[in-house]
Amino acid sequence: MAVTKALVKAIPHEDLSSNVQQWELSMKYENDSEGDATYYTSTFTEMAIAAAPDLDFTAAAKGTFNLAALTAMCPVSQWDAVFASQVDSVITNPVVNPVPDQDFAVPGS
């Protein structure tokens, strides 16, 4: 299983001083390559808010944020676990639906 992930969206929400107060961030996960039987994709989104208690993000001009800083605002370990669970339930161990036997005869009739 070759999982790739990439930040695909980063939309800054600025105040009147041009400091970013919120970031809308999306990360796309892909398992294997498109066309492979094991291909699966999912996109996760986070709204990062400046000065939130669980975030190390201080309002600043959007040009001061690099890819590493934006990625650090994402709950990547949580998303990793969710994506692994999705791949497991859809690709590795999919639910097998029962098949009806239309020809079954009721015993003792």
Closest alpha carbon to 28 in 6, 11, 1? 6
pTM over 0.85: no
Buried b (16+ CB within 10 A) or exposed e, 10-19: bebeeeeeee
Domain boundaries, the chain: 3-74
**What pLDDT digit, counting tens, does each position of 24-64 carry?**
999 999 999 988 999 999 999 999 999 877 767 899 999 99
pLDDT score for 1:
63
DSSP character at residue 50: T
